[in-house]
Structure 1
Amino acid sequence: MKVDGGIAADPVEAAQTARNAETAGYAGAWAAETSHDPFLAVQAAARETTHLELGTSIAVAFARTPMTLAVTANDLQRLSQGRFILGLGSQIRTHIENRFSMPWSHPAPRMREIIMAMREIWSCWHEGTKLDFRGEFYTHTLMTPFFDPGSSEFGTPKVFLAGVGVKMTEVAGEVCDGFIAHAFSTPEYFRQVTLPALERGQAQGVRGRTEVAWPVFTVTGTDEGEMANAVTKTKKQLAFYASTPAYRAVLDVHGWGDLQSELHALSKQGRWDEMGSAIPDEVLAEFAVIGTPDHVATEMYRRYQGLADRVTFYTPYRVKPGLLDEISRAIQAQSAADQT
C-alpha cells in the first residue's frame, strides 16, 4: 500500500511542498482544484522532483473539454517524465453551471464520454490513428499536423476518476486506470457498494483491475490538546459532508440515515457551528482512523490494506510538522514487510 502526500494548491508554494513530500518518502503527491489551477501546481512540482508520482485530486472535468484536458495532461506527462496521474471529478451542478458557466447533464455518461474522447485524442497523437470521435456530448474530428504534438516515450498518463455514487463508480471501473474514493466513505460502504460497482464497470471494459486511491480522515496528535482539536475539526468536516443529500447513501449503509436529515436541517438554518457536535463518536470512528501516531499507522494499514492501493491523510486541522511523515514511513514499512 502506497502512502501519498499533498502538493500546495498555490503554484508559488507547490514546488517546495512537492520536494518535501519526495524527501519524506511519499510515493506520490496530489494537487486539489480549489482557488488555484491544479495543473499549474503539478507543473511546478514536476520541475523540482525526480521520482514522486504527481496527480490532480481532483481537476474538474466538466469545467473543461476533452481536448483541453488531453493537451494539458499530455504535456504534464512529458514534463514529469511519465509520473503524472490525471485525477478527474465532476463537481456538482451548481458549480458547473453558475461558477464555470458550462453545461451539466447526465454526469456519469458525460464523464465516460470525456474520458473516451481523451483516449481517442491521445491515440491520434501517439499511434497516428485518424481522429474521429462522435459522441452524444462531444465531437472531435479535426487534428491537423500543426496541432499534433506527436508521440512521446513516456506514453499517456493514467486516468483516475473520483466518485461516490454507483454510476460514476462504474464508469471508473470501465474506462479508468484508477478510482479516487471520497473521504466521506467507510470500509463497509466500500465493500457493499463501491467495490461491486467497480467490478461491474471492469467487466464492461478492457483495462483490467482499477487502482484505488483513498483520502482517509486521520485524527491524531502528540498530546490531549492536539487530539481534542483534531476530533473537533474532523467532526465539523464530517458534518459538512453528511449534510449533503447525495452522501446519505453512505450513512444508510450503517443505519445512520436520519443523521443526514438532522444535519441538512441545521445547514439550512445556517447553524454550521453546531453541526460538528451532532456527529457521534461512533460515526467518527467509522470514518476516521483515530489515535496516537503509532496506533494510526498500525490501524490504517490494518483497515485499508486490501481495499486501497494508496492512501492519503485527510486532516482538516493543523498538524505538527513531520508527524504525518512518521506515520507514512511506518505504514510503508509494514507494507514492505508483508511483501517479503
Structure 2
Amino acid sequence: MLIDFHTVSHPPNRLRTVARELESVGYDSVWTTETRFDPFIGLTLAADATERARLCTGLAVAFARNPMTMAMSAHDLHTVSEGRFVLGIGSQIKPHITRRFSMPWSAPAARMREFILAMRAIWHSFQTGERLRFRGEFYRHTLLGSFFDPGPSPHGPPPVLLAGVGELMTEVAGEVADGFLVHSFSSRLHLEKVALPALRRGREKAGRSLTDFQIHVAPFVVSGRTEQEYLESVEHARAQLAYYASVPGYAHVLELHGLGEVGTELYRLAAEGRADEAASVIDDDVLDVFAIVGEPKQAAAKMLERFGDIATSMAFYQLDGGDPDRWAPVYEELRAQQVAAPGAA
C-alpha cells in the first residue's frame, strides 16, 4: 500500500516546493484538489521539482471541462512527469457545475461514463494516429487533424481514478476507470456494504476483477503533536463532518449507520440560519465512525486496521494546504507499522 499526502489549496509555486519536500520525506504520491487553484498547473511545476513521487489530481472537476480539454491536460502532464501522473476526477455537485462553472448537468453517472470513454478514445487517437470517431449521447468528438494532434506519449495514457459516493457513480468507476477515490465522508461499513459491491458489479460489466484496480482512501484523521494541535484537529474534523453530513446526496451514508437523525438536525439548523452550531451535532460517537481518532501511534494502527486490506494507497484528509511537519509523527508511525506488518515486503 502506498502512503501518500494530500494538499488541497496550495498555489502552484508553493505546491512545487511542498512536492519536493514530500518526496524527500518518502511519501509515494502527492495529491492536489481543484478548489482555489488549477491542479494541472501546480502539478506541472511539481513534476519539474520531483523525480520519483506520483503526481495526482484528487480530484479535478470533470464536468467543468469537456473530454478533449481534460484529455489534453492529462496527456501533457503525464508526458512532462515521465509517466508519474494519475488523473483523479469527480463530478462535483450540481450547484457548482451549473452556477460556478456554468456548464450542463444531467444524468451524472451516465455522463461520467461517457466522459471517460471519450477521453480514452481521444488518447487512443493520440497514441495510434487512428481517426477520432466518438459519438455519444453527451459528447461528440470527430475532428482531430494532424495540426491539433500532439501524437503519442512514450508513457501511454495516464491511469484514471474516479470519485464517487452513490452506487451508480461507484459502479461506473468499476466499469470504465482504473481506480476509485473513496470519499473522505465514508466508513469501513460503507465500503463493505455499498462501494465494494458496486465496484465489483462495474468490473464484471468490463469483464475484469478488482485485482489490479486502485482504491485510494483519505480519511479524516484526528491527531496532533501537542494537545493544542489535537484539539484543533477535533474541531476541524467536526466542522467538516457536519458539512458533508448536511449534503442530501450523502444522507444514505448516515442512514447506513443508523444516524439519519444527524442529517435531519443539520438540515434544521441550516434552515434556521444556525449553521455555526452544526459542528456541535457531531458528537464523539459520530466522530469515531467517520474519522481516525488517536495519538499518532493509535491513529496509524487504526488507519491500517480500518482500510489496510482494502486500500492500494492512503493519505490524510486535508482541508487547507496541509503542513507536512504536523503530520510527520502519524506518517512515521504508519510507515513503521506497515513495514512491521506480517507479509510486508
Q: Return the TM-score normalized by structure 2.
A: 0.94
How far did 1:290 drift?
Answer: 0.8
Query: For the residues of structure 2 that align with 1:88 and 1:167, how far apart are their CA atoms?
Result: 15
Q: Distance in 2 between matches of 1:134 and 1:201?
A: 22
For residues 80-103 of structure 1, the C-alpha deviation after alignment (integer angstroms, 9 at most, x for no partner) is: 000001111101111111111111
Which residue of the partner structure matches residue 95 of structure 2? 94
Matched, 1:272 2:275: yes
User: Over residues 255-306 of structure 1, what are the superposed CA-to-partner deviations in whole Å (9 max), with x where a residue is unaligned?
Assistant: 0011101101112222122111111211100111111111111221111111
Task: Spell out, residue by residue over 1:117-165, the C-alpha distance to the aligned partner (whole angstroms, 9 max, x if none).
Answer: 0000111111232211000000111111111111121111000111100
Q: Distance in 2 between matches of 1:67 and 1:336?
A: 42
Equivalent AA in structure 2 for residue 4 of structure 1:
D
Determine if the alignment matches structure 1 residue 3 to structure 2 residue 9.
no
Aligned residue for 1:48?
49
For structure 2, list consecutive stretches of 5 or more residues without a partner in the other structure.
none
Match of 1:112 in 2: 113
1:34 maps to 35
Tell me the C-alpha RMSD between the 2 structures: 1.6
AA of the residue aligned to 1:44: L
Matched, 1:290 2:301: no
- Which residue pairs with 1:244 in the alignment? 247
Tell me whether 1:228 sits opposite 2:266 in the alignment. no
Find the aligned partners of 2:133 and 2:319 in 1 and give their Cα distance. 45
Distance 2:87 2:270 in 1: 33
User: Secondary structure of 1:162's match?
Assistant: strand
Alignment match, 1:262: 265
Q: Aligned-pair distance for 1:14? A: 1.1
Instruction: Tell me the residue number matched to 1:134.
Output: 135
Alpha-carbon distance in structure 2 between the residues aligned to 1:26 and 1:184 = 23
Match of 1:299 in 2: 302
Amino acid across the alignment from 2:96: H
Instruction: In structure 1, give the amino acid aligned to 2:237.
Output: T
CA contact (8 A) 1:248 1:260 kept: yes
CA contact (8 A) 1:239 1:279 kept: yes
Q: Distance in 1 between matches of 2:23 and 2:287?
A: 31
Contact 2:242 2:281 in 1 (8 A): yes
Q: 5 Å matches for 1:140-179?
A: 140-179=141-180
Deviation at 1:60, TM superposition (A): 0.6
Structure 2 residue identity aligned to 1:229: E
- SS of 1:283 mapped into structure 2: helix
Q: Separation in 1 of the partners of 2:228 and 2:323?
A: 12
Is the 1:217–1:287 Cα contact (8 Å) retained in structure 2? yes
SS in 2 for 1:313: coil
Is the Cα–Cα contact under 8 Å of residues 10 and 321 in structure 2 kept in the other structure?
A: no
Instruction: Give the conservation status (yes or no) of the 8 Å contact 1:219–1:315.
Output: no
Distance 2:234 2:318 in 1: 10
Aligned to 1:339: 344
Mean alpha-carbon deviation: is it higher for 41-50 or for 6-15?
6-15
Does structure 2 retain, via aligned residues, the 8 Å contact 1:29–1:54?
yes
Q: Following the alignment from structure 1 to structure 2, what is the Cα–Cα distance between the partners of residues 196 and 315? A: 28
Runs of 4+ that moved beyond 4 A = 315-321
Contact 2:22-2:324 within 8 A present in 1 as well: no
1:19-77 deviations in whole A, cap 9, x for unaligned? 11101111101111111111111111111000110011111100101000111100000
Whether 1:322 and 2:336 are equivalent positions in the alignment is no
Distance 2:332 2:262 in 1: 36
What SS does structure 1 have at the residue aligned with 2:147?
Answer: helix
The share of aligned pairs that are identical, in percent, is: 46
Structure 2 CA distance, aligned partners of 1:235 and 1:29? Answer: 25
The 8 Å contact of residues 89 and 161 in structure 2, kept in 1 or not, is answered as: yes
Q: Distance in 1 between matches of 2:214 and 2:258?
A: 29
The count of residues paired between Structure 1 and Structure 2 equals 340
Q: State the alpha-carbon separation in 1 of the partners of residues 32 and 149 from structure 2.
A: 27
